Structure 1
């Protein structure tokens, strides 16, 4: 492919939107192993441009570009069997702008990055090790 043809392919493209990243995340989630998805039923996946300032302050993160994703909720290791009223659902946040910034600086596809962040954040729900999360990512393709 010539460089002119490659450049022309980008002429009309816009940066991936929140919906585009959400679509990538939903596809990545659908490709995770069945037993993993069964254990995460009820986890809400949200895509936002950046984490809130309160989140950044709480985590002592200086730049809004330094946080690609976040698990918010009660991990399985800390969850009780008794139903709790008023508790918010477990959520995974993916932050579009930091993800796009990371994508621009690394040799990975956007889909690979979204999958990695999603698995890593869901892994916090389970208290998984980095090795466990790598195996799940590999199983997701």
Structure 2
């Protein structure tokens, strides 16, 4: 039996490991198109992001894509352009996980695919297919 009395919530470093593993499980052709996308892990979105996204609480946002997606650029980076970034927010993801039946790994994969999907301008159906391919 698992020693539940000493179990601790996954840290930011643990989430980086989960996100890296989720990314590696994505289909190769999808990962190849993600070159240059930076994945960041934070406990919560910053105040500016919360205002911009019109969040009622810091727990309302599980992840975020910031940048210029391939659908808008045709894949061409412009001089001075910041890299495209995906944020995964640890505390909101843990809160969501506590209230649902998904495994933590599946939830991190779902949020990661959804946010990267914004980079490509993918439909929900496209993202579901990629997520299914990732297992």
1:121 corresponds in structure 2 to 115
Is 1:60–2:66 an aligned residue pair?
Answer: no
User: How far off its partner does 1:83 sit?
Assistant: 4.3
Q: 1:81 to 1:108 in 2, by over 3 A?
A: closer
Runs ≥4 in structure 1, deviation > 2 angstroms? 80-83
Is 1:30–2:30 an aligned residue pair?
Answer: no
- What is the aligned-residue RMSD (CA, Å)? 1.2
Which segments of 5 or more consecutive residues in structure 1 lack a partner in the other structure? none
User: How far off its partner does 1:14 sit?
Assistant: 1.1
Is 1:138–2:132 an aligned residue pair?
Answer: yes
Partner SS for 1:56 = helix
Question: Structure 2-normalised TM-score?
Answer: 0.96
2:14 corresponds in structure 1 to 20
Question: Structure 1-normalised TM-score?
Answer: 0.92
**Cα distance in structure 1, aligned partners of 2:4 and 2:49:** 35
2:37 corresponds in structure 1 to 43
Deviation digits for residues 45-96 of structure 1 (CA, Å, limit 9, x no counterpart): 0000000110010111111101000000000011156542221100000000
**Cα distance in structure 1, aligned partners of 2:58 and 2:80:** 30
1:105 corresponds in structure 2 to 99
**Cα distance in structure 1, aligned partners of 2:27 and 2:62:** 23
Deviation digits for residues 3-34 of structure 1 (CA, Å, limit 9, x no counterpart): xx45xx11212110001111001000001000
Which segments of 5 or more consecutive residues in structure 2 lack a partner in the other structure? none
What is the total number of aligned residue pairs between the two structures? 135
